[in-house]
């Protein structure tokens, strides 16, 4: 099969790819932690789309979750049989999305009303992870249309719960013994604007919620209370300084090369300006280089909290929201890494750069299970932002790379 035939067929389906992505964007798939009802509605739309492609087998591996209306979190696997049925190429994408955030910041369109403008499809979930999801489907569809059987079986997994830790998604699937040690795994959930970066390593992730408890009082009589907000601010500032000074190592494999410690969400405390808060809550997002033990980082946080409790009289509670310990990186000479580099080089004339990231993806769970995995896609990195978009050209061009991987 000539590469030119694959390119031509993929480009012919450009409009169909865009329409399928916009259909998915119209259906929110937000985790219950963020006030949503999960992925079931989007999964039904996706199942209908997949039924038209001609996969040999489509399976559901839903995980129970009593917090959502359907009582389940959808996980779908679609198989396209290859000449070698014992070897499988997996492309893992996720159907869940993050909330839209402040909707007034969406100046191009509303989050769930997709719009195609200047070659970009705007909408929440367009790039993260709708673009790659569509590209993986059309990689198979292109081969089907050309009457070509892939060299190996292509398995597309569309998983839930990626944005909140993957307990109901890829972790659930890994427990079912679906995957094998010799599987070839690509997770197109990160990348750069020209597709020249392959991710082989991730930092440890430690999300924390810090609650400071004092005593509520009238703001004109501060001596009668204990301002939990002030203590929280002081603790957060000291914590920020301590973490950056103590855990300051750099590893040039990663971008950025150091650990990151970011105060993020600030919960609402009181309803009036003249009330001293008796309780205050904020969150920290920590992305820690693999050379550091995240549990030691957490111990330092708690030690500093003890100091502040003794000094101020307030109580400080630290709750772990999410923790992912960085597994060993995928070796540079791993077969899937070499195959992907060759596919990119042959289609883009680019020799990809290999490195690590601070963001978390499903690839980390495969690496932990001893299955080499790489992360790659072409994106402008608008995920989680207002006016998130996916370039239609990226839909097409990434699907071409995936088709070549199936034939390599």
What amino acid positions are annotated as catalytic residues? 96, 162
Residue 137: burial class (beta carbons within 10 Å; 0-12, 13-18, 19+): buried
Contact between 26 and 112 under an 8 Å Cβ cutoff? The reply is yes
Residue matched to tokens 């991730």: 202
Question: Taking the CA of residue 33 as centre, how many other CA atoms within 13 Å lie in the half-sphere pointing to its CB?
Answer: 13
Phi, psi of 179 (to 5 degrees): -95, 155
């Amino acid at each position: 099969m000539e590469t030119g035939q694959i390119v031509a067929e993929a480009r012919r389906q450009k409009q169909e790819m865009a329409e399928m992505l916009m259909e998915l964007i119209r259906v929110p798939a937000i985790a219950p932690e963020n006030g949503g009802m999960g992925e079931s509605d989007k999964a039904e739309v996706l199942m209908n789309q997949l039924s038209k492609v001609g996969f040999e087998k489509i399976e559901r591996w839903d995980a129970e979750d009593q917090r959502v209306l359907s009582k389940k979190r959808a996980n779908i696997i679609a198989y396209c049989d290859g000449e070698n049925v014992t070897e499988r190429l997996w492309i893992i994408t996720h159907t869940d999305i993050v909330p839209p955030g402040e909707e007034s910041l969406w100046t191009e369109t509303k989050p769930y009303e997709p719009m195609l403008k200047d070659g970009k499809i705007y909408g929440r979930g367009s790039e993260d992870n709708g673009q790659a999801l569509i590209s993986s489907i059309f990689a198979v569809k292109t081969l089907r249309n050309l009457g070509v059987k892939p060299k190996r079986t292509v398995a597309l997994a569309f998983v839930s719960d990626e944005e909140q830790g993957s307990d109901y998604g890829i972790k659930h699937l890994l427990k079912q013994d679906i995957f094998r040690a010799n599987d070839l795994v690509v997770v197109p959930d990160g990348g750069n604007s020209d597709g020249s970066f392959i991710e082989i390593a991730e930092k440890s992730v430690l999300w924390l919620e810090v609650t400071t408890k004092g005593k509520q009082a009238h703001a004109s009589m501060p001596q009668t209370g204990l301002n939990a907000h002030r203590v929280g601010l002081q603790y957060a500032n000291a914590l920020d300084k301590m973490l950056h000074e103590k855990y300051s190592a750099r590893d040039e494999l990663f971008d950025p090369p150091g650990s990151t410690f970011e105060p993020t969400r600030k919960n609402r405390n009181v309803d009036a300006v003249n009330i001293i808060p008796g309780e205050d809550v904020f969150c920290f997002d920590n992305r820690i280089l693999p050379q550091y033990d995240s549990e030691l980082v957490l111990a330092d946080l708690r030690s500093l909290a003890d100091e502040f409790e003794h000094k101020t009289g307030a109580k400080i509670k630290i709750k772990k929201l999410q923790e992912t310990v960085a597994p060993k990186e995928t070796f540079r000479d791993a077969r899937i890494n070499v195959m992907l580099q060759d596919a990119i080089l042959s289609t883009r004339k680019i020799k990809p750069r290999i490195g690590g990231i601070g963001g978390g993806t499903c690839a980390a769970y495969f690496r932990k299970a001893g299955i080499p995995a790489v992360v790659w896609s072409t994106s402008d990195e608008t995920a989680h932002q207002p006016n998130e978009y996916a370039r239609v050209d990226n839909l097409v061009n990434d699907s071409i790379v995936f088709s070549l991987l199936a034939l390599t």
